[in-house]
């Protein structure tokens, strides 16, 4: 288990710098260490560019940059985040599909999108899980880290996201396995853990998968 420290958009950007310094101080690869720095809360609040200095601190400290963007706001928010923060992964980012140019920018950047179908539906971004543009994102060649966002808030854990991908978006065993691989590759798990989990995904697929 590892930690991502996240600044809040509704707090002053100077608070984010303080948190970034604290996160870097506790960075590492051991259990309980900090591996990433994020930006959360209502993305309609705050100015993304004003948090760039905090992310620069985190970048210099070797942390993964994992801000949220592009769920409650549209593709412009994703583009702004790419330009001002230069993230490794974006929480959500699903609204990038609304502008082909921005979707292409995400694909060219190599940034992974952390897609959380249950969260998107619960917050009214999409009326139904079948409307979540996961297939469009995957087809654009964008790495996807399938996530549960906040299980305590939305009542849906990670395995539920895979079930939704199968049931509502017609991902077959091979498609689910690739989502799992992509999720692991986009993580900051230590290399031995990544290798072990990737082998288990291949074993699952070779054994005929499971319900």
Confidence of residue 209 (pLDDT cuts 50, 70, 90): low
Of 71, 83, 98, 104, catalytic: 71
pLDDT for 132-145, tens place per residue?
999 999 999 999 99
What is the DSSP annotation of 104-170? HHHHHHT-EEE--HHHHHHTTSSSSGGGSTHHHHHHTT--B----S-HHHHS--HHHHHHHHHHHH-
Is 202 a catalytic site residue? Answer: no
Confidence of residue 28 (pLDDT cuts 50, 70, 90): confident
Domain borders along the chain are: 3-209
**Assigned CATH topology for domain 3-209:** TIM Barrel (3.20.20)
Judged against a pLDDT cut of 60, whether residue 19 lies above it is answered with yes
**Mean residue pLDDT across the chain:** 94
Confidence of residue 154 (pLDDT cuts 50, 70, 90): confident
Q: Rounded to an integer, what distance in angstroms lies between the CA atom of residue 144 and that of residue 187? A: 10
In the chain, pLDDT over 90 holds for what percent of residues? 86
Structure-model confidence comparison of residues 130 and 32, the more confident one: 130
Judged against a pLDDT cut of 60, whether residue 156 lies above it is answered with yes
């Amino acid at each position: 288990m590892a930690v991502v420290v996240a600044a809040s958009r509704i707090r002053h950007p100077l608070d984010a710098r303080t948190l970034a310094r604290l996160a870097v101080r506790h960075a590492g690869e051991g259990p309980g260490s900090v591996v990433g720095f994020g930006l959360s809360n209502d993305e309609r609040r705050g100015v993304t560019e004003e948090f760039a200095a905090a992310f620069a601190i985190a970048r210099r400290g070797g942390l993964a940059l994992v801000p949220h963007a592009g769920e409650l706001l549209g593709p412009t928010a994703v583009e702004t985040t790419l330009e001002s923060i230069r993230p490794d992964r974006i929480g959500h980012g699903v609204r990038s599909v609304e502008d082909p140019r921005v979707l292409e920018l995400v694909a060219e950047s190599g940034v992974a999108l952390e897609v959380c179908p249950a969260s998107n539906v619960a917050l009214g971004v999409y009326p139904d899980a079948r409307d979540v543009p996961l297939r469009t994102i995957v087809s654009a060649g964008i790495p996807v880290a399938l996530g549960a966002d906040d299980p305590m808030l939305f009542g849906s854990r990670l395995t539920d996201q895979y079930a939704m991908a199968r049931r509502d978006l017609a991902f077959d065993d091979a498609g689910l396995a690739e989502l799992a691989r992509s999720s692991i590759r986009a993580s900051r798990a230590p290399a031995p853990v990544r290798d072990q989990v990737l082998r288990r995904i291949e074993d699952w697929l070779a054994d005929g998968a499971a319900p």
